[in-house]
Structure 1
Amino acid sequence: MIRRYSHKDKIKVIDLFRRNTPKYFDPSEEFDLENYLLRELEDYFVFEKNSEIIGAGGINYFPEEKLARISWDMIEPNSQGKGIGRELIQYRMNLLSKNHAVEIVMVRTSQHAYKFYEKVGFELEKVERDFWARNFHLYQMKMTK
């Protein structure tokens, strides 16, 4: 089940982040995630199975650029490769397809996850080394609706 994030989910989402560290995130990014959940959250969703949060991901909007950005995606390590990430991204893309103010969807990820986004239709736009942290490069990708 995919549902909207609630502030009561914060501890479980932080735990999900930690279970994906250091493979997909650098430990220094935890502060950025906490800040996002407190101050930058727009649309954020969790994927629940058997009352456990096993996935999360959001959308941020930049109306002046007609842009939406996929943000803070993470899947419980033991649930990766089972279609949950694809379902979560498809859920958000369906929401965005109804938003006529958005023309471009962007995702900023790392070298560790960009292949997933390629599979769902995003195209690589640029790479910036050591952007997120040492050995965590920015892979900026986009898709036109």
Structure 2
Amino acid sequence: MTIRIRRYRAGDRKAVIAAFRSNVPDHFPASEESWLRSCLDEPDGPLFVVVDNGEVVGFGGYELSEFYHLGTLVFGLVRADRHGTGIGRMLLNYRLIHMAGRKLRPRYVTVDTHAHTAGFFRRCGFVEIARWPGGYRSGRERVDLRFELTDAAVAALRQGTHARNGR
């Protein structure tokens, strides 16, 4: 495996959408594809792809608030046949470290996700801050989580040691 993460390019669009569709309906409802397409067309922050031997196998980005010390993760998906390989954690850590290097470095990073994927974020050091039954228009439960982007957390991310044991 030769895995690398780079900025999303327009030529990646078809592969990103295919990776998304590989996760429907288990991890995303099909109705979220329109949001993905609008995110690709008009991003509010940097977007990245995970490439393995020239093939896009993951996608995600983030947004930074100009008014709050807050970053928000946008998407974050791995092609279904590559789940459990560490690619999701790699992409998450990359985005957190990238945010830490920005002029508008956030103090906290938030993510909203479905209940069945919230455990991944908890294992990566996020803390659950809210749970909304039926919080998504699709009817799925929404879980909001937060990560404190301290210098110590960033150092641990760079060393690959952050949250291996739950935090």
Bigger-Rg structure (1/2): 2
TM-score (norm 1): 0.94
Once the two structures are TM-superposed, the CA of residue 116 in structure 1 deviates from its matched residue by: 0.5
- Give the AA of the match of 1:34: R
- 1:139 and 2:143 aligned: yes
- The equivalences for 1:109-120 within 5 A come to 109-120=113-124
CA distance in 1, matches of 2:114, 2:72: 15
- 1:43 and 2:46 aligned: yes
- The aligned residue for residue 155 of structure 2 is none
Gaps of 5+ in 2: 150-167
- Give the AA of the match of 2:6: R
Gaps of 5+ in 1: none
Once the two structures are TM-superposed, the CA of residue 41 in structure 1 deviates from its matched residue by: 3.9
Which segment drifts farther, 124-133 or 88-97? 124-133
- Give the AA of the match of 2:71: A
Structure having the higher strand fraction is 1
Once the two structures are TM-superposed, the CA of residue 65 in structure 1 deviates from its matched residue by: 1.1
Once the two structures are TM-superposed, the CA of residue 14 in structure 1 deviates from its matched residue by: 0.7
- The aligned residue for residue 152 of structure 2 is none
- 1:5 and 2:24 aligned: no
Once the two structures are TM-superposed, the CA of residue 40 in structure 1 deviates from its matched residue by: 2.9
* 1:108 alignment partner, one of 101, 109, 112: 112
Once the two structures are TM-superposed, the CA of residue 69 in structure 1 deviates from its matched residue by: 0.6
CA distance in 2, matches of 1:78, 1:39: 28
Q: CA RMSD in A?
A: 1.3
CA distance in 1, matches of 2:32, 2:136: 8
CA distance in 2, matches of 1:41, 1:5: 13
Aligned-residue identity in percent: 28
Equivalent pairs, count = 145
CA distance in 2, matches of 1:9, 1:131: 30
CA distance in 2, matches of 1:34, 1:129: 26
